[in-house]
């Protein structure tokens, strides 16, 4: 699980082009949206594509996304339980 | 109504962004020449900056400089010209389509791949709800923006307009153009190859003369093809009851390659009293490089000084002539304020 979280942080930084942010800067329970990393709706779309492309998880219910994308911790938990890749 | 250029801004292959003197500049010597990037962090919020392509950032920086100089917060219009638009994101999007078999397409590069992204982002930053238009007319893209603004300010439709030209280097496209021997490589200089550049040059056109005014834009003209350079220039100047002999400085978009043909030498011959100035050895060739030439012309008029030598000279009129490979001819006439 720890490896997955580190991998996920690296992918988020790369895909969302988070300049000046390192893996160490992102805490497992930091909110991804709002006060935390300050991501927005376009970033959410990028994360949905990332989940599908890299882990084979298709998210079709927006309400589901809200809880999954709360933090790296919630994302990693969901991926570990549902990944097909 | 007279129209003046009251603010300038530029991002180019050069270290500085303004007040160019050729002695201080570096000539582009490679096939591909990237623009020197200024610091954008003070100007653009980090959250937006991370998503912006290079062309967008260069455009916002150059437009900010021009507006600041003209002391205008929100212009009446934002009119841009670009030959190839946001090329880097277009390539990124197309590559992702190929790599992922047309699946998993992400929104950012798609949103930014459109040609009007620069003009749109400038307007969003400024909260400018006015006229917003982007011209994509190859080597007359910038002049199309200039003509649009000039006509609208002359007609009283606008008090001012922010106009500019922007183009960026995209690796894939440039590689193809190198394979086609249209852009020089590190190993080879082709007969019709050019040294390519990138950049953004913006200016503020306004209907009022200020202490900051650089030049009056008297007229501009675009012609995709022409039969005779002398006739083209004479006809253009006759619209203002001028003759070629009255042009003190002729700024030409020469690459000093076979692409020039005889066009620029014919222009020099007809404007026989003119000092000839060139600029593409400092900007590199790109579809909107002529905006960089116009910026130089503005500074020459304001400071009454030649770009190439720094020598003082009384200059009343400057004519800027650009073309590429026998197509996309444009003339712009500037007058001292």
Per residue in B15-70, pLDDT (tens digit) is 877 767 788 899 998 999 999 999 998 888 877 888 888 999 999 999 999 999 99
Which residues have CB under 8 Å from B80's CB, separation 6+?
A: B59, B116, B118, B119, B122, B133, B134, B135, B145, B163, B164, B165, B166
CB B54 within 8 A of CB B37: yes
SS3 annotation, B228-284: CHHHHHHHHHHCCCCCHHHCCEEEECCCCCHHHCCHHHHHHHHCCCCEEEECHHHHC
**Interface probe, candidates B40, B47, B53, chain A, greatest A C-beta count within 10 A:** B47
The pLDDT-based confidence of B104 (bands split at 50, 70, 90) is confident
Q: What are the chain A neighbours of B105 within 8 Å (beta carbons)?
A: 49
* Sheet strands side by side (includes B199-206): B131-135, B77-81, B160-167, B199-206, B4-11, B215-223, B327-335, B317-324, B249-252, B275-278
What is the average per-residue pLDDT within B115-135? Answer: 96
Look at residue B6 and give its three-state secondary structure: strand
**Interface probe, candidates B56, B93, B107, chain A, greatest A C-beta count within 10 A:** B107
B104·A40 Cβ contact <8 A? no
Higher pLDDT, B244 or B20: B244
pLDDT at B227: 96
The pLDDT-based confidence of B330 (bands split at 50, 70, 90) is very high
Residue B303 has pLDDT above 80, yes or no: yes
- CATH class held by domain B4-206: alpha beta
Report which of B185, B179, B20, B170 is spatially closest to residue B90, judged by C-alpha positions.
Answer: B170
Q: What are the chain A neighbours of B50 within 8 Å (beta carbons)?
A: 16-19
Interface size A-B, in CB pairs within 8 Å, comes to 27
Higher pLDDT, B21 or B5: B5
Chain B's closest residue to A52, CA to CA, is B104
What is the average per-residue pLDDT within B289-310? Answer: 96
In chain A, what are the domains? 2-82 (1.10.1200.10)
Is residue B265 classed exposed, middle or buried when 0-12, 13-18 and 19+ CB atoms within 10 A define those classes?
Answer: middle
pLDDT at A61: 77
Q: What are the chain B neighbours of A21 within 8 Å (beta carbons)?
A: none
Q: What are the chain A neighbours of B97 within 8 Å (beta carbons)?
A: none
State whether residue B97 sits within 8 Å of chain A by CB: no
Provide the shortest C-alpha distance from residue B52 to chain A (in Å).
Answer: 10
Across the interface, of B50, B103, B106, the residue whose CB is closest to A19 is B50
Beta strands at B249-252 and B317-324: parallel, antiparallel or unpaired: parallel
In CATH, B217-335 is 3.40.605.10: no
Cβ count near A46 (within 10 Å): 18
**Interface probe, candidates A43, A44, A57, A58, chain B, greatest B C-beta count within 10 A:** A43
pLDDT at B111: 84
Chain B's closest residue to A53, CA to CA, is B104
Chain B's closest residue to A50, CA to CA, is B104
Report which of B16, B44, B77, B57 is spatially closest to residue B295, judged by C-alpha positions.
Answer: B16
State whether residue B50 sits within 8 Å of chain A by CB: yes
Residues of chain B with CATH 3.40.47.10: 4-206, 217-335
**What's the complex ipTM?**
0.73
Across the interface, of A16, A38, A49, the residue whose CB is closest to B104 is A49
pLDDT at A34: 80
Which residues have CB under 8 Å from B26's CB, separation 6+?
A: B13, B14, B15, B282
B106·A46 Cβ contact <8 A? yes
State whether residue B98 sits within 8 Å of chain A by CB: no
Q: What are the chain A neighbours of B47 within 8 Å (beta carbons)?
A: 38, 40
pLDDT at A66: 84
In the predicted model, what is the mean pLDDT of chain B? 95
- Per-residue pLDDT reduced to its tens digit, A31-61: 999 877 888 888 988 899 899 999 999 987 7
What is the average per-residue pLDDT within B72-79? Answer: 98
Look at residue B296 and give its three-state secondary structure: helix
Higher pLDDT, B122 or B97: B122
Across the interface, of B46, B49, B104, the residue whose CB is closest to A52 is B104
Across the interface, of A20, A38, A46, the residue whose CB is closest to B107 is A46
Distance CA(B106)–CA(B181), nearest Å, equals 33
């Amino acid at each position: 699980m720890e490896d997955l979280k580190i991998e996920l942080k690296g992918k988020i930084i790369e895909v969302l082009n988070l300049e000046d942010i390192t893996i160490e800067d992102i805490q497992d329970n930091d909110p991804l949206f709002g006060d935390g990393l300050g991501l927005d709706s376009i970033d959410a779309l990028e994360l949905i594509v990332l989940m599908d492309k890299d882990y084979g998880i298709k998210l079709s219910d927006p309400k589901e996304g809200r809880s999954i994308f709360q933090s790296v911790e919630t994302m990693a938990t969901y991926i570990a339980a549902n990944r097909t890749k | 109504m007279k129209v003046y250029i009251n603010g300038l801004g530029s991002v180019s292959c050069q270290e500085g962004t303004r007040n160019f003197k050729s002695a201080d500049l570096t000539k582009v010597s490679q096939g591909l020449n990237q623009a020197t990037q200024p610091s954008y962090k003070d100007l653009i919020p980090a959250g937006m900056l991370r998503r912006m392509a290079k062309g967008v950032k260069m455009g916002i920086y150059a437009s900010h400089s021009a507006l600041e100089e003209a002391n205008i917060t929100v212009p009446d219009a934002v009119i841009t010209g670009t030959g190839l638009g946001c090329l880097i994101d277009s390539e990124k999007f197309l590559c992702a389509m190929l790599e992922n078999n047309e699946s998993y397409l992400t929104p950012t590069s798609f949103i930014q791949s459109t040609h009007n992204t620069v003009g749109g982002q400038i307007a969003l930053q400024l909260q400018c709800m006015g006229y917003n238009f982007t011209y994509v007319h190859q080597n007359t893209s910038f002049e199309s923006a200039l003509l649009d603004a000039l006509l609208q300010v002359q007609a009283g439709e606008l008090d001012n307009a922010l106009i500019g030209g922007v183009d960026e280097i995209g690796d894939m496209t440039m590689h193809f153009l190198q394979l086609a021997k249209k852009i020089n490589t590190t190993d080879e200089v082709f007969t019709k190859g050019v040294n390519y550049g990138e950049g953004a040059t913006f200016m503020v056109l306004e209907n009022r003369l200020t202490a900051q005014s650089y030049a009056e834009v008297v007229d501009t003209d675009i012609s995709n093809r022409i039969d005779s350079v002398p006739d083209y220039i004479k006809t253009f100047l006759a619209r203002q009851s001028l003759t070629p002999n009255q042009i003190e400085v002729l700024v030409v978009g020469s690459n000093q390659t076979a692409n020039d043909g005889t066009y620029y030498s014919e222009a020099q011959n007809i404007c026989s009293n003119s000092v000839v100035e060139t600029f593409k050895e400092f900007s590199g060739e790109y579809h909107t490089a002529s905006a960089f030439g116009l910026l130089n012309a503005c500074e020459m008029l304001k400071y009454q000084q030649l770009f190439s030598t720094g020598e003082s000279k009384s200059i009343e009129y400057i004519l800027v002539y650009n073309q590429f490979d026998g197509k996309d001819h444009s003339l712009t006439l500037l007058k001292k304020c």
